[in-house]
Structure 1
Amino acid sequence: MKVTQEKLPASQIGLEIEITPEMSQKAYEQVIQKFTRSANIPGFRKGKVPRQVLIQRFGSVQIKATALEELIDETLKQAIEQEKIDALGNFQLRSSFDDLVSQFVPGSALTFSASVDVQPDVALAHYTDFQLQAEEVKPDAEQVDKVLQQYQEQTATLIPVEGRAAQLGDTTVVDYKGVLLSDDPEAEPEPFPGGEAEDFQVELAEGKFIEGFIDGIVGMTPSETKDISVPFPDEYAQETLAGRAARFTITLKEIKEKELPALDDDFAKEISEFETLAELRSSLETRYNEEAEAKTTANKEQAILDELLKHIAVDLPETLIERELSYLLNQTAMQLQNQGIDVKRLFNQDTIGMLKERSRPEAIDRIKRTLALGEVAKRESVKVEPEEISARVTELLAELGDREIDPERLQAVVAEDLLKEKIVGWLIERSTIELVPEGTLAKPDEAEETLDAATVETDGTDTNTVDVTASVVEPTAEAEAATEAEASKGSASDTPAIADAEGEPEPVETAEAEKPKKTRKPSKAKAESTDSE
């Protein structure tokens, strides 16, 4: 079999393959035998149908097309193996299949053209002595006090109050009944589902509910009944209520105020595993200092990765881009599913195409970063020793306990992470990175785009190269605590009439609501992901 290679754009290799007469005859005869064994023609026993009858029944074009499909597939595999081509994905037929069918004569030679994607050549012009800027994240000096105050609020005791009116900061118990108003003065007010409740507990805090509701309660005294006119916001989540004027008849039944616990050692013991308030403060300070330092390090790494993209020249094959896009969409779907969203309804033929188009620039950048870092590792002989991988794997397995983990996948993930750390660290050491105040470089809209991209940028890209640019977006213990606390308050449908502008009650708890612990284990989300990948 004669094979001629040709280098094509987009990291493709063109192949011109000449099929020998013997191969074409053999392929045709094999197809005839298959048709003979499977054909069910009246008047003939299975496997005993004469050749001419088969050709008349199925048509010579169909039989030749079937033989040609198998022949092309088989000869391409042989050509790739014969020429020692490291192909990515499936081949693309460059010759017209219909023309090949018309030219195909069993026992005669036939030439066709195809192409295969191959690993791209990487040209990295420059990767050392970068002069860059990165934002330095510093811990908020008041953050510890804010968190302790939040803990106080969450563990406060509600004390009934008499002899005064309701004021901001109080918690009140009310009965309310709401009706929708019409522009027609003669029209009757219209009740609506969820528009009334009894013994409903309302914290008088700004921004908790639709604008005007809290202000209407402030100043009321127990047993007082009052009408409050408030409009539902135009962007309200429930479309039937959005933009409608409403009137609520409210009866104030009880006023309570918060009695905050003292900030002392007993308080520290109650909300944490620490014996003294000083230990708790020290732990929180250490934690926020480490978080700020980690964010600064991440900013430096991102600056290096962004700069590398400016110096790499590579012609990416479509196979790699499609793989990356599919992976990103799969990760997005998994994350949405974990949030309880029906991804089958969200992901259809139209939305998948749109999402792929929107994600394409990010997918291309991810692949380029991977290839650039891999090129640096190759040129500078940056590698990870087996002992380092074993040590990290042992550490993760101890944290994961009895969970089922694919050990081979875990080893691969750890190797990728450690290699990325080493390469990026090598680059940082050989560059000058000026730290500038937080907020100096990123504009608000750019920050939002970065956050959106981060939600789908996870590791595991199958590009036949080590994925050293992946970052994992994982739920923190704080976020989980806040989610549980939010769930415990009931769904938005419990109080649709006085929800906030988005149509759902806002969480009282914050991301800082996690109970402080003496030891905080490193994140295991990446290692645990080996179960599902």
Structure 2
Amino acid sequence: MVEKIEFSAITTPDTNSSVRIIVDIPGTATQKAYQDTLRDLSKKQSIPGFNSSSNKRIPEQVLVGYFGEGVIKGSTLELLADTAIKDAIQSADIKAIGQAKLIEEAEKILLRLVPGEPLQLEVKVDVWPNIKFTGDYTGFTIAVQSEPLDQSQYDATLQRLRERAVVSVSAPENHAANKGDAIIVDMSPFEVLEDGSRGDPLPQLAGGEDLEIVLEAEKFMPGLIDGLLGIKVGEMREIPVQFPDKLGGEANVLAGKKAVFDVTCNEVLLRTLPEVNDDFANSIRPGLTLAELDKEILSALNSEGDKKKFEARDKALEAALLERIEAEIPETLVIERARQKFAIMMADMKSQGQQDDAELRKMITPENFNKYKEVVRESTTKQLKVSLALSMIAEKEGIELDQGEIEDQLELIRAEVKGEEFDEAVAKERIEATLQKNKASFSCLLLTL
């Protein structure tokens, strides 16, 4: 390893929160790096005619002949660049992020590299951005409009509660199932081949014995409910269907397939939804009245409305901050955040069944990531600016995080993953970033009032 290189370095600010560093490396350092490279290579590789355990020095011309001049000079350049640039960054007290990159192509530098002769290297490295406030981050006003309660949400919530309390009784003999009834069936799916003939049975993810099916079209795939209307106890039907192109989880193996269901009806049930009164409320929770149930539903919906209002508030605050800050965001941070978003998008597509593993692997390419990065560049840059600004506000306002709160959130994650491994360090970092952002936003709002 090159030790204590004596060199001179000149740093110049560059675009997008980066600096250029010109490093002049003396001939003594290039010679030493070359000799160190020869020694390291001779130890790592057994060379015919020489015993690696011996202290006998292998002649330089033998090493050059065996490894090739290009390999040796390339390793020498890596050693010089790594040590000299690292020392230059430390000496200049540069808060570098990411790896420094050579401005000139390595092949051209190798043509200039002569052991014992001086060598000049020029590199570019991203640095931690400097956030400049062009105005106060307090004293401004943001307006957030509250959305009125959506009556349809209230009605849908009440309907779901009624569905849970539905009363089902066996239908009279020879009753033909109508819309709104429920049927108990044995159901077996088979694939339909291209020629229209019946193929092998499909996974029982879509079938089974004694399944309850409520005859409401919106609850099942198109065609199935229509094919079951009018069925009677003991009757068997063949119902052709086509699975949706997008299915989540294990059911993704059925996506887009044509199938036929063999369905045998075991029982028809008449379903009666309860009237909305105090008895209905009491069935949900003993002692609950209809008036109290109404308040609880409204409270839950208002909480959801408050959540949306706070999200709108945060967006308005972020927009106001963006108008008051100047910052150049380095490419390293943009790439890092875009990679996180890209990974989340791929994971979501897998969990939602939009793509299978083979299709996802085809999508995860450098070309596709670079296209995605450009699509999200503007939004990512804005998010990074706001995040950095809020971190600075938190520091200025002396905001401290509650370690107990951080640990509580980690415990929630541990409970959710149920023993599966996860990166606690990364999770903790994200929790801290979120808490700091929330506390800084709240502090900014308090100071604004």
Give the structure-1-normalised TM-score.
0.64
State the one-letter code of the partner of 2:338: L
Contact 2:244–2:255, Cα closer than 8 Å, also in 1: no
- The equivalent position to 1:10 in structure 2, one of 7, 16, 21, is 16
Distance 2:231 2:365 in 1: 51
Distance 2:407 2:300 in 1: 25
Distance 1:392 1:198 in 2: 47
Which residue of structure 1 lines up, in the alignment, with residue 214 of structure 2? 203
Contact 1:173–1:252, Cα closer than 8 Å, also in 2: yes
Contact 1:336–1:343, Cα closer than 8 Å, also in 2: no
Is the aligned partner of 1:191 residue 2:198? yes
Distance 1:121 1:23 in 2: 35
- Spell out, residue by residue over 1:246-277, the C-alpha distance to the aligned partner (whole angstroms, 9 max, x if none): 8x9987664311244676777667655x6424
Distance 2:306 2:236 in 1: 54
- The equivalent position to 2:335 in structure 1, one of 295, 306, 322, is 322
Q: What's the secondary structure of 2:47's corresponding residue?
A: coil
Displacement of 1:148 after TM fit?
A: 4.3
* Residues matched between the structures, number: 421
- Spell out, residue by residue over 1:2-59, the C-alpha distance to the aligned partner (whole angstroms, 9 max, x if none): 1112222222211111111221221122122223334433333334323332233333
Q: What's the secondary structure of 1:159's corresponding residue?
A: strand
Is the aligned partner of 1:293 residue 2:306? yes
Contact 1:6–1:13, Cα closer than 8 Å, also in 2: yes
Is the aligned partner of 1:96 residue 2:105? yes
State the one-letter code of the partner of 2:218: G
Identity across the alignment (%): 24
Which residue of structure 1 lines up, in the alignment, with residue 225 of structure 2? 214
- Spell out, residue by residue over 1:350-384, the C-alpha distance to the aligned partner (whole angstroms, 9 max, x if none): 55642452254435534433434533664796535
Q: Larger % of helix: which?
A: 2
Give the structure-2-normalised TM-score.
0.74
Matches within 5 A, 1:24-39: 24-39=30-45
Contact 1:227–1:250, Cα closer than 8 Å, also in 2: yes
Contact 2:410–2:428, Cα closer than 8 Å, also in 1: no
Distance 2:262 2:391 in 1: 70
Contact 1:168–1:204, Cα closer than 8 Å, also in 2: yes
- List runs of 5+ in structure 2 lacking aligned partners: 1-6, 247-253
- Spell out, residue by residue over 1:130-165, the C-alpha distance to the aligned partner (whole angstroms, 9 max, x if none): 676545234445655643442332343421121654
Contact 2:190–2:201, Cα closer than 8 Å, also in 1: no
Matches within 5 A, 1:162-241: 162=172, 164-173=175-184, 190-193=197-200, 201-209=212-220, 211=222, 213-215=224-226, 217-219=228-230, 239=256, 241=258
Displacement of 1:112 after TM fit?
A: 1.7
Which residue of structure 2 lines up, in the alignment, with residue 516 of structure 1? none
Contact 1:226–1:251, Cα closer than 8 Å, also in 2: yes
Which residue of structure 2 lines up, in the alignment, with residue 422 of structure 1? 439
Distance 1:170 1:223 in 2: 16
Q: What's the secondary structure of 1:136's corresponding residue?
A: coil
Q: What's the secondary structure of 2:217's corresponding residue?
A: coil
Matches within 5 A, 1:142-181: 143=153, 146-162=156-172, 164-173=175-184
Displacement of 1:390 after TM fit?
A: 4.2
- The equivalent position to 1:51 in structure 2, one of 54, 60, 63, is 60
Which residue of structure 2 lines up, in the alignment, with residue 65 of structure 1? 74
Displacement of 1:296 after TM fit?
A: 0.9
Is the aligned partner of 1:358 residue 2:369? no
- Spell out, residue by residue over 1:323-358, the C-alpha distance to the aligned partner (whole angstroms, 9 max, x if none): 112222334455567678865761346556424522
- The equivalent position to 2:288 in structure 1, one of 269, 272, 276, is 276
Is the aligned partner of 1:375 residue 2:364? no
- Spell out, residue by residue over 1:445-465, the C-alpha distance to the aligned partner (whole angstroms, 9 max, x if none): xxxxxxxxxxxxxxxxxxxxx
Shifted more, 372-381 versus 3-12: the winner is 372-381
Which residue of structure 2 lines up, in the alignment, with residue 440 of structure 1? none
Larger RCO of the pair (alpha carbons < 8 Å, separation 6+): 1
State the one-letter code of the partner of 1:156: V
State the one-letter code of the partner of 1:320: L
Q: What's the secondary structure of 2:180's corresponding residue?
A: coil
Is the aligned partner of 1:21 residue 2:27? yes
Which residue of structure 1 lines up, in the alignment, with residue 251 of structure 2? none
Which residue of structure 2 lines up, in the alignment, with residue 441 of structure 1? none
Is the aligned partner of 1:389 residue 2:402? yes
